[in-house]
A = this chain, B = another copy of it.
Amino acid sequence: MSDLNAAMATIAQKTEQFLEAHLTAQQLSAPLPAPERLINAVRHGALNGGKRLRPVLVHLTANLFPQPAGDLIQAGAAIECVHCYSLVHDDLPDMDDDDLRRGKPTVHKAFDPATAILAGDALLTHAFALLADGNCHPDPALRNQLVIELVEGAGVGGMAGGQMRDIEGERKGYDPETISLIHAMKTGALIRASVRIGALMGGASKDELAVLTQFGEAAGRIYQLADDILDATQSSEQLGKTAGKDEAQGKSTLIASHGLAHARSALQDELNDALPLLTPFGDRAAPLAQLVTHFAERQS
């Protein structure tokens, strides 16, 4: 675990440094000078000292392979820009209307809603240039594929579609199948894209990519199940955010419909199914297996 923690901390730190250096007026003033206020809002939304879980997934998946090519930190940073854009927009008054994120004012509180809309738009926009850029990977055709993977993770069949389904659910009510689909789209699709982007940069064959896609989808479900259990069992203080939010919002998670014991057993089943998918990668798979086990253990 301490090896994994050290690896995770290093990737998080390098991602933060990359974003710190890249999200500047100097780097992004093309063709014309970027306004300081927008750069500041973009940085407020992206430089938050997060765990950078998606970049970690890119890195650990690429390292299932003996010779990953390209700049894994740059690719991870692109996904992180998309993740951060989604937080900035989801926090808006017209969306979830959250004032705080990681103990800091959200972008629309620190600036204003119009600036937050633009900052989210800008993070989303610039993410794609990071993947299309020659430094990201030596093979231009593979860079095109990375762009398409990120679009699918973020688009109407992924994250944005998941947020739409979540908003519709708040009005119409949820059932467990809908909740699963919302999770798979809202959280799962970008986790899946992170694993696939790592696999592609590792040089995965078609078959390896298919297996790792399965693994990425399972990782998303494990992450979300553990999150649901945490939400139901921990205090807001332990959680660092409002606890019991799912129940308060009428979200019939697996816990509400089938109880906590069932959710814990479903989580264990998911983990038992996911880990063998990594067997073909031998010793190289240990960190990724540890990470997903760590996701599952968060709830205990």
Contact = CB atoms under 8 A, between A and B. Distances in A.
Chain A interface size band reads 35 or more
Nearest to A192: B31
A151 B128 contact: yes
Residue among A25, A85, A122, A140 having the largest count of chain B Cβ atoms under 10 Å: A122
Contacts of A39: 156
Interface string A169-199: 0000000000001001100010010000000
A121 interface: yes
Interface stretch (A52-60, A158-166, A248-256): A158-166
Contact of A134 (B31, B35, B144): B144
Interface stretch (A3-11, A88-96, A271-279): A88-96
A158 B30 CA distance: 7
Interface string A81-125: 000010001001111000000000000000011110110111011
A128 B143 CA distance: 12
Contacts of A132: 132, 144-145, 147-148, 151
A95 to B, nearest CB: 5
A289 interface: no
Contacts of A118: 89, 160, 163-164, 167
A266 interface: no
Nearest to A94: B113
A242 interface: no
A31 B220 CA distance: 13
Contacts of A114: 94-95, 167
A85 B126 CA distance: 15
Interface string A2-37: 000000000000000000000001001111111101
A181 B32 CA distance: 8
A32 B94 contact: no
Contacts of A92: 94, 117
Contacts of A141: 140
A209 interface: no
A35 B164 contact: yes
A121 B124 contact: yes
Contacts of A192: 31
B124 A161 contact: no
Contact of A161 (B35, B93, B152, B165): B35
A210 interface: no
6 contacts: A34-B161, A37-B164, A92-B117, A94-B117, A115-B167, A140-B143
Given A28-B156, A93-B94, A134-B144, 6 more contacts: A25-B156, A37-B164, A117-B117, A125-B155, A125-B160, A144-B147
- Nearest first, the 3 A-B pairs at minimum CB distance are A34-B156, A94-B113, A132-B147
